Amino acid sequence: MTRFRAVSLSMIGWGAAVLVITALTSLDAAGQLTRDERDHADSHEAGHDDHQDHDEPVSGQAGYGEKAEGGVVELSPESIQAADIHVTALKSELLPEFISAPGEIQLNQYRSAEVTPLIDAVVVKRHARLGDKVKAGQPLITLASIEVAAAQGELRIVANEWQRMRRLGRGVVSAKRFVQARVAYEQGRLKLSAYGLDNKQINAVVTGRIKVALGRFQLNAPVSGTVLRDDFHVGQHIKAGYSLFLIADEHRFWVQANLTPLQADHIEVGVPAQVSIGGYWNEGMVIQKHHILNEQTRTIPVRIAVTPDGKHHHAGEFVQVAIAAQMDNAKHTLAVTESDLVHEEEGNWTVFVELKPGHFKQTRIHRGTTRGKKIAISGLAEGTPVATEGAFYLGAELAKRGFEILSR
Question: How far is the C-alpha of 401 from the C-alpha of 395, rounded, in Å?
Answer: 10
Residue 325 DSSP code: E
Average pLDDT over residues 390-404: 75
Give tens-digit pLDDT for 316-333. Answer: 999 999 998 876 666 778
Q: Where are the domains of the chain?
A: 9-53, 72-95+331-407, 112-248
pTM score, two decimals? Answer: 0.58
Question: How far is the C-alpha of 334 from the C-alpha of 325, rounded, in Å?
Answer: 19
Check pLDDT > 50 for residue 46. Answer: no
Give tens-digit pLDDT for 181-224. Answer: 999 999 999 999 999 999 999 999 998 877 667 899 999 999 99
Check pLDDT > 50 for residue 61. Answer: no
Q: What is the biggest distance separating any 2 CA atoms in the chain, rounded to whole angstroms?
A: 129
CATH class held by domain 112-248: mainly beta
pLDDT band of residue 50 (cuts 50, 70, 90) is: very low
CATH class held by domain 72-95+331-407: mainly beta
pLDDT value of position 266 = 87
pLDDT value of position 79 = 86
Q: Of 99-103, 176-180, 324-328, 336-340, which range is least confident?
A: 324-328
pLDDT value of position 48 = 42
Q: Of 122-126, 269-273, 312-316, which range is least confident?
A: 312-316
pLDDT band of residue 94 (cuts 50, 70, 90) is: confident
Average pLDDT over residues 144-152: 94
Q: Of 68-72, 205-209, 226-230, 238-242, which range is least confident?
A: 68-72
- Write out the DSSP string of 58-111: PSSSSSTT--TT--EEE--HHHHHHTT-EEEE--EEEPPEEEEEEEEEEE-GGG
89 vs 65, more confident: 89
Average pLDDT over residues 273-295: 88
pLDDT value of position 95 = 76
Residue type at 277? I
pLDDT value of position 80 = 87
Considering the chain, what is the average pLDDT of its residues?
A: 80
**How many CB atoms are located within 10 Å of the residue 345 CB?**
13
Q: Find, among 352, 378, 116, 386, the residue nearest to 240 by Cα.
A: 116
Check pLDDT > 50 for residue 247. Answer: yes
Quote the distance between the C-alpha of residue 398 and its chain's center. Answer: 33
Check pLDDT > 70 for residue 307. Answer: yes
Under 8 Å between Cβ of 93 and 335: yes
Cα 181 to Cα 127, 184, 243: the distances in Å are 37, 5, 36
